[in-house]
Amino acid sequence: MKRIITAIIAITFLGSFYGQQDIHVSNFFASQNWLNPASAGFFEGDVRFYGDYRSQWTKISPNAFKTTSISVDGRILDENLKNGFLGSSINFYNDVTGDGIMKTNNVSANVNYAIDLDQYNRLAVGLNIGMLNRSLTFANFNWDSQWNGDSFDNSVSSGESGLNASFSKVDVGAGVYYYGMPSDNLRIYGGVGLMHLTKPNVSLYAGEDNLYMKVNINGGANISVPLKKMVFMPNFMVMLQGPNKVINVGTDVKYILKEPSHFTAFYDETSIALGAYYRAGDALFGTLRFSMKGVSLGISYDMTLSDLSKANNGFGAVEMMLMYRLSLGGGGYGKASF
């Protein structure tokens, strides 16, 4: 009986709040290419690789949700454009629900143009074009027509028609992004991304089930404490998609163990950062990140606060991230990032 109640709670939660909703991650401040195509290239360095793995709600099912995402971005024509740059990125994510029952793959490219408003402020507009693929494995499904009186016989035809085991759809998004340096000790950034502008039909059954357009609003700051080796990095994100919404707010506190030189910039910095965040109506999550020589390793842990905690005992998700920034001797437009 306890297992049945747990399953009902989980299914109710998923059906009510996560239908038609995209993936979300706790390291949202480090994966802005997924939030806003106009943010590509805004980082210190020349080429950036980002990878993230998230395992969620394993107390309900060992394979409830597992999400892997990667992206590579950089700047194009950085030296040839006097008042800005062209940014680009390649992005991919794979999301698996259950024991491989449903899989979602998304591969996309971002391209943006950033213009210098003045010496301290930059504004960018960007476009995202991608391919969304979703597949469903019916092999483990049981249908009424397969019940023989004692058990389900999968050799018997289900009698179902109109089921789409797999489909692929073109997906388009756009965004605007701002980055500013009001003072030597303050960097601010943020923007708005509009995803799924084409509202592709994602029905796995005959009929229409158009994906809701998604609005991502995110921003943050780097606030350096004068004469201290400490940096406060508050961040927020609001994701609106149909009836669903995700609101994250919190801050990281970075302590610089080894300061960068004037010649090597971020590449010679060694630091550790701790963060605390709140996802409205859902969870508290903490982050830990260590950075050295352009490499950042991080981990986060979600503690469920919603009614789902009755099913997962408060264990929400574990997430790991890896970031590597390579300097080819260029400048850098994203000192606000890390």
Q: Is residue 85 part of a domain?
A: yes
Task: Average the pLDDT over each of 32-46, 74-88, 184-198, 220-234 and give the range with the smallest value.
Answer: 74-88
CB 26 within 8 A of CB 320: no
Q: Is residue 336 part of a domain?
A: no
The three-point CA angle 16-130-83 to 5° equals 115
Q: Is residue 337 part of a domain?
A: no
Q: What's residue 291's pLDDT?
A: 94
Q: Is residue 29 part of a domain?
A: yes
CB 169 within 8 A of CB 132: yes
Which pLDDT tens digit goes with each residue over 130-148? 999 988 777 667 777 778 7
Q: Is residue 50 part of a domain?
A: yes
- Residue 160 pLDDT greater than 80, yes or no: no
Which residue, among 322, 320, 236, 240, has the nearest Cα to 277 in the 3D structure? 236
Backbone torsion region of residue 281, taken as left when φ is above 0, otherwise alpha when ψ lies between -120 and 50, otherwise beta: left
What's the total number of domains in the chain?
Answer: 1
CA 338 to CA 334: how far, in whole Å? Answer: 8
Domain that holds residue 277: 2-326
Which pLDDT tens digit goes with each residue over 277-305? 999 988 999 999 999 988 999 999 999 88
The rounded mean pLDDT for the chain is 83
- Residue 243 pLDDT greater than 80, yes or no: yes
Cα-to-chain-centroid distance, residue 185: 28
Q: Is residue 332 part of a domain?
A: no
Burial class (CB in 10 A: 0-12, 13-18, 19+), 247: middle
- Residue 3 pLDDT greater than 50, yes or no: no
Q: What's residue 8's pLDDT?
A: 35
Collect all residues with Cβ–Cβ distance below 8 Å to 303 and sequence separation of at least 6.
283, 284, 285, 314, 315, 316
Instruction: Please report the DSSP string for 187-210 in residue order.
Output: EEEEEEEEE-TT--B--SBSS--B
Q: Is residue 333 part of a domain?
A: no
Q: Is residue 179 part of a domain?
A: yes
Q: What's residue 187's pLDDT?
A: 95
Helices and strands per DSSP (H, E), number in the chain: 3, 14
Indicate the DSSP class of residue 263: T
The CATH number of residue 55's host domain is 2.40.160.40
